[in-house]
A and B are shown apart, each in its own frame.
Chain A
Amino acid sequence: MITAERKPIEELIQSVKPYRSILLAGCNECVTVCAAGGRKEVGVLASALKMHFLKAGKPFEIQEITLERQCDPEYVEQLASNLDQVDAVLSMACGCGVQEVARRFHNKPVFPALNTKFMGASERQGVWSERCQGCGDCVLGYTGGICPVARCSKQLFNGPCGGSSNGKCEVDPNVDCAWQLIWDRLKALGMTERYEENLPAKDWRPAGGAGPRRIIREDMAL
């Protein structure tokens, strides 16, 4: 999923302060799963902002809505009726959702309520970690199912570096050394001979090196 974290409340207060009424829009997808921008988080943030402005004696109205998805125009369209009544939108979706709202409603200011972080998996309750950088040319088949691009601090395709210590990365003792994980997997799979196949320099074009990326499915596109 795409993971995110709420921005500091002070930053959010500053973004919406100039307005009398806002729409706080959550998203039912990834940010709900990582408890950053779903219906519950919309409720808590709306309540917090209301209380803050009440205390400050500033007139402030806030409407709450949580869309099925904020990255799809069909769902974003549902905001149309609410938007007449508000001055601005505070989006609790990932950066994709914020931009989709901005694209559809070009005359309405849209602010992000979250910092979009990474594509990751849930490690355990309340902990998410990065797993994929969407580099566009997956090498997981060569590396035992562990990604050196997203999980090695130096993005080594031929690791580990000299800083791997007791299975941990030199950059952060809480982070596993990706190449230790890769090696352990290759051993478990009986594929250790794979290790000495040098992976060649990566073509970064599919990773975004050739500018913003698109997928066009001829069979689906209208």
Chain B
Amino acid sequence: MKTASTLENILASGELAVTSECGPPRGALPQKVREKAELLRGCVDGVNVTDNQTAMVRMSSLAACILLKQMGLNPILQMVTRDRNRLAMQSDILGAYSHGIDTMLCLSGDHPRFGDHAMAATVHDIDSVQMIRMVKDMRDEGLFQGGEKIDGPPKMFIGAAANPFADPFELRVSRLAKKVKAGVDFIQTQCIYNVDKFEKWLQGVRDRGLHQQVHILAGITPMKSVGMARYMKNKVPGMDVPDEVVKRMGGVPKDKQAEEGIKICLETIERLKGVEGVRGFHLMAIEWEQKVPEIVERAGLLPRPDGLNVGVQNVRGGKS
């Protein structure tokens, strides 16, 4: 084991892992974080805590991760290259690990242009591939990015994102290969609606044996309504929502659409469960966290393995 991460434990055991996410609030109320996170207790192995998602200011991922940790949950620290240079990133990683946060996700982040601070300067000191390498060197070599030795290196289980649906498609396996080369441990994919295309990508991943070097969690987002389906299809960059899915959502009465959305995501999970290279699921129920337990249960992914409890016992309480 590279780390004490619960997620790593579960993935290593061969069980399908389940992660979900919790977007911190647009304010300083810790209760809001706790309420959202509480919904996920016992049904997931890790909770991604987003980092100023969609380029909107929110409570810091690190602070919200600490709140989750205090609740005995397993937060996954998301960190984007957009807002921090390598000094700030490394110091936050040290700080996170000092609080027992041992799993993180390296991202480039949505461009500020999409958020409420479009006038902000972007940092982009390093990119997500370089960040993976930096965190790996901190863990395995005990070295800062600048080359100096770390006194008590943080042992992070390193995640990253992959979008099988962005262009150019032929590059999507290669891009994953770059992240694998940089040292990524697990991948959470973009929301999957076009399952055929996802499987095509996965075939490319398997052809190169990448699935044996990295754990891939398939990204699943239930849709609440046909409106959301249309929005995701037309407005969200890098999202692939096939017409059939929009049609299917629109084909049922309004009050049944939410259930239809959940059915679609359950079918996707069912289809992907046995596919070689899929090591678990990442459920992104956007502002719909209360549905996660139901989805996990109906998908037959409960109870979660003991890894969750193992993770809690492993809290290092500041001693790293």
Contact = CB atoms under 8 A, between A and B. Distances in A.
A163 B182 CA distance: 21
Contacts of B162: 162
* Secondary structure class of chain A's binding surface, majority of residues: loop
B161 interface: yes
Contact of A162 (B125, B127, B166, B182): B166
A202 B168 contact: no
B248 to A, nearest CB: 24
Contact of B178 (A164, A196, A202, A204): A196
Nearest to B81: A154
Interface in B47-102: 81-82, 86
B302 interface: no
Contacts of B181: 196, 198
Contacts of B264: none
A163 B145 contact: no
Interface in A141-188: 153-167, 170-172, 177, 179-180, 183
A67 B63 CA distance: 57
Contact of B237 (A157, A165, A180, A198): A165
B111 interface: yes
Contact of B167 (A157, A166, A171, A201): A166
B111 A163 contact: yes
Interface string B125-148: 111111001100000000001000
B133 A167 contact: no
A195 interface: yes
A200 B130 contact: yes
Contacts of A204: 125
Nearest to B238: A162
A160 B182 contact: no
B133 A198 contact: yes
Given A183-B171, A198-B129, A201-B130, A158 B237 contact: no
A165 B166 contact: yes
- Size class of B's contact patch? 35 or more
Given A158-B129, A162-B161, A163-B237, A201 B134 contact: yes
Contacts of A198: 129-130, 133, 178, 181-182
Contact of A164 (B124, B128, B168, B177): B168
Given A154-B111, A196-B181, A167 B127 contact: no
B237 A202 contact: no
B290 interface: no
Interface residues of A, number: 30
A154 B238 contact: no
Contacts of A183: 168, 171
A164 B182 contact: no
Given A153-B111, A196-B177, A198-B178, A158 B166 contact: no
Interface in B267-309: none
Nearest to B164: A162
B122 interface: yes
B175 interface: yes
A172 B113 CA distance: 9
Interface string B153-183: 0000000011101111001001101100110
Contacts of A155: 122, 124, 127
A201 B161 contact: no
B291 to A, nearest CB: 25
23 contacts: A154-B81, A155-B124, A157-B130, A158-B175, A160-B175, A161-B238, A162-B161, A162-B238, A165-B166, A165-B237, A165-B238, A172-B113, A179-B171, A183-B168, A196-B174, A196-B181, A198-B130, A198-B178, A199-B130, A200-B130, A200-B133, A201-B125, A201-B133
